[in-house]
Chains A and B, each alone.
Chain A
Amino acid sequence: MTVTLFVPCFVDLLYPQVAISAVRLFERLGHQVVVPQSPACCGQPAFNTGDWGGECRDLALQAMRTLRAAEAIVILSGSCGAMMKVFYPELFARTKHEALAREFAPKVWEFSSFLVHKLGVTDVGARFPHKVTFHDGCHGLRELRNKQPPRQLLARVQGLELIEMGAAETCCGFGGTFAVKFPAISTAMAEVKCASALETQAEYVVSCDSSCLMQIQGLADRQRQPVKTLHLAEVLAQT
């Protein structure tokens, strides 16, 4: 299958190893990967601040037009995935692009869900002999209902032990521009999250969203807490 990998802006710039891991994984599984050069952003930052007009729509339209012919579009983020799958149709509701948005949405797959539901694999031949805990990104969990796929994948990683944290489904406090508009609240939320992750004594916090991990790692580093974060793709790429 030809996998069209949509690499969100912050993954491209801050976490290239996440996307590189995904490319290597798909190639290992015998698929061909293509990467569109633009747009580099799905438009969510503008959308979430309420700016549903020009810029947000332009980026969304560009994404839809560039990617519409793809067989499957895979996104390394539940959040950007939700933007394309759930919010594009709402953004273009009652406009002339509504049909395009509705036709586009089902082609978009969040990474873990794509592996499990579209490719039908749970054992990707990965080996990662460590204790990990999993953080559910809110958009992946509640907009895309992806509770199980990442866990199904982790369950088949050799040597990996998953220890669930009490607050697995509690928001890490990132929330896009929320993190900088309300830094005090956002930071408090991250503290609650980190405390819950630390309680498990896992070596790594794994998630499908690098943005959440940026928040968790960013706080842990500042407070010198022994938390290490990894994107699911990085775990699955290990052999």
Chain B
Amino acid sequence: MSSPAAQFKTDAKRITADLRHRATIQTAMGKYELVRDQRKHWFQDWEGARTLAARTKYEAVNGLDAHLLQFTRKLEARGTKVHWAGTGAQACAIILDLLQARRARVVVKSKTMTSEEIHLNDALARAGVEVVESDLGEFIVQLRGEPPYHLVFPAMHLTRDEIKEVFAKRLHDAPSNDPEELTMVARRQLRQKYLQADVGITGANFAIAETGMISITENEGNARLTAALPRTMITLMGIEKILPRYADLALFLPMLAVMGTGQALTCYNTMYGGPRQPGEADGPEEFHVVLLDNRRTLVLADVEQRDALGCIRCGACLNVCPVYRNVGGHTYGTVYGGPIGSVLTPHLRGLQEWKHLSYASSLCGACTETCPVGIDIHHHLLRNRRNASAPKTGKPDAWQRLLFKLYAATAARPAFWRLATRFGRFVQRFHGLVKGGALDPVRAWTGTRELPPIARQSFREWWKEHGTHE
């Protein structure tokens, strides 16, 4: 198996040449930008809202220890069982134990990227449990055996014909490529599963410390059915999902909707506070919350990058990222793609193995500019690069260092620079012989682009003749 870095380069090369893919994504994102901007203007003071959101999330993360305890005490007081998982494997084991103790055969899930992070579906399938994704996009990519393409739009890379094709192949039910008809097919399938399922697994968008409640926001009603119909409900969430106060949702729910999908609010916004209480007519008999660390506390310990834990997974940085828009969601090879994923993945899965994601950016800063909670995303990519090549704690690239050393020595001395200028001019005469070929030392550039020649007279040479001199 190739390294994640080699795989990334191979996949990026393939997909950037796929012009149909590029057009699909650019068109979808163009539409998103339009509605996002319309809704942003509904905020009286968008920049003020961002500042407040950043401050609130930072407060939540900085006081995570206290907030989590408050959150769990409130939950437990209403009969919820709280589980703490240090690693993804532990979280999978906890959930599997809960399923096996209840002899669960069928599980429905609503959208949870955290479960993708810990490969929960694989773990459950290995144990013989049937897992059904109930979010339409997730349902489609599950049928295709693919991971979600995007944090918010899991199937945005697919055309309706491709969806029809997979429905025909896997469900033997695809009357046409009409989105409404295809949705009806999925609904018929899913309604059966909700009724059969022994357990429903959800994620969480926010966890309110003050009230001990889980906030889930969605557009299809599938999370409500996942939570309400099976006897047991399990919510899997990263520990950073905390918000201090109930009232914070008044800012965060519209903000997430605007930046996530360009909606003023998503269609369904539900609070879950525990299992069915005496006298209540509905709700699950049992409610379990699994709190996942999985190296998030390492991000917490990193004073420079702690704000990255404030990410609300709106996907806005992916949508504006010119790299994401060209390589697409699958190329990253990890559940959290795009700019924020390139910041977080090296923390969550190892810096040396995943540092290439932090290098695969032009550092344009469109992500930071759009991030609703003000995460310093593109500068964190730079900091990851620094940490990855730090002389003692990282792995500096010896060749690259040598090149920089030579270059810096030349740039620091006028005489060397003059010599190098002339030498470069001499050498480039022969460049034509190898240009673009395997022997071309600058083939990475000349493979697809022309390189301007060193001028007959450099500026410094011109200045010598013209200038007032120092």
Which A residues form the contact surface with B (CB < 8 A)?
7, 9, 11-17, 19-20, 23, 32-41, 43, 45-56, 58-59, 62, 138-139, 141-143, 169-171, 173-176, 178-190, 192, 214-215, 217-219, 221-222
Chain A contact residues: helix, strand, loop or mixed: helix
Contact of A182 among B9, B387, B414, B454 (CB under 8 A): B9
Q: A16-B462, A45-B404 are in contact. List 14 more A-B contacts (CB 8 A).
A: A16-B457, A38-B414, A50-B385, A51-B404, A58-B408, A138-B366, A142-B365, A171-B366, A173-B322, A178-B363, A188-B327, A219-B450, A221-B449, A222-B450
Who on chain B is nearest to A138 by CB? B364
List residues 57-90 of chain B with CB under 8 A from any CB of chain A: none
Q: In the complex, A58→B421 CA distance in Å?
A: 21
Closest Cβ of chain A: how far from B445's Cβ, in Å? Answer: 6
Contact of A189 among B13, B362, B404, B413 (CB under 8 A): B362
Q: Is the CB–CB distance between B414 and A217 below 8 Å?
A: no
B412 CB within 8 Å of chain A = yes
Q: A49-B400, A185-B323 are in contact. Are A218 and B450 (CB under 8 A)?
A: yes
B411 CB within 8 Å of chain A = yes
B16 CB within 8 Å of chain A = yes
Closest 8 CB pairs of A and B: A175-B362, A50-B385, A218-B449, A171-B364, A55-B408, A180-B444, A16-B459, A138-B364
Query: What chain B residues lie within 8 Å of A189 (beta carbons)?
Result: 322-323, 326, 362
Q: Is the CB–CB distance between A37 and B414 below 8 Å?
A: yes
List residues 10-32 of chain B with CB under 8 A from any CB of chain A: 12-13, 16-17, 22, 26
Contact of A41 among B12, B327, B411, B467 (CB under 8 A): B411
Contact of B389 among A32, A49, A178, A218 (CB under 8 A): A49
Who on chain B is nearest to A36 by CB? B470
Q: Is the CB–CB distance between A185 and B404 below 8 Å?
A: no
Q: In the complex, A110→B412 CA distance in Å?
A: 22
B142 CB within 8 Å of chain A = no
Query: What chain A residues lie within 8 Å of B468 (beta carbons)?
Result: 32-34
Q: In the complex, A38→B389 CA distance in Å?
A: 27
B99 CB within 8 Å of chain A = no
Query: What chain B residues lie within 8 Å of A169 (beta carbons)?
Result: 366
Q: In the complex, A47→B404 CA distance in Å?
A: 10
Closest Cβ of chain A: how far from B303's Cβ, in Å? Answer: 12
Contact of B362 among A33, A41, A51, A174 (CB under 8 A): A174
B361 CB within 8 Å of chain A = yes
Contact of A40 among B386, B404, B417, B445 (CB under 8 A): B417
Q: Is the CB–CB distance between B459 and A59 below 8 Å?
A: no
| Between-chain CB contacts (< 8 Å), 5 pairs | A40-B412, A43-B408, A49-B400, A180-B444, A181-B444
Closest Cβ of chain A: how far from B390's Cβ, in Å? Answer: 8
B388 CB within 8 Å of chain A = yes
Q: In the complex, A218→B323 CA distance in Å?
A: 19
Most buried by B among A12, A47, A187: A12
B222 CB within 8 Å of chain A = no
Q: In the complex, A48→B400 CA distance in Å?
A: 12
Q: Is the CB–CB distance between B448 and A219 below 8 Å?
A: yes
Most buried by B among A37, A38, A50, A62: A50
Query: What chain B residues lie within 8 Å of A40 (beta carbons)?
Result: 410-412, 417, 460
Query: What chain A residues lie within 8 Å of B401 (beta carbons)?
Result: 51, 55
Q: Is the CB–CB distance between B454 and A14 below 8 Å?
A: yes
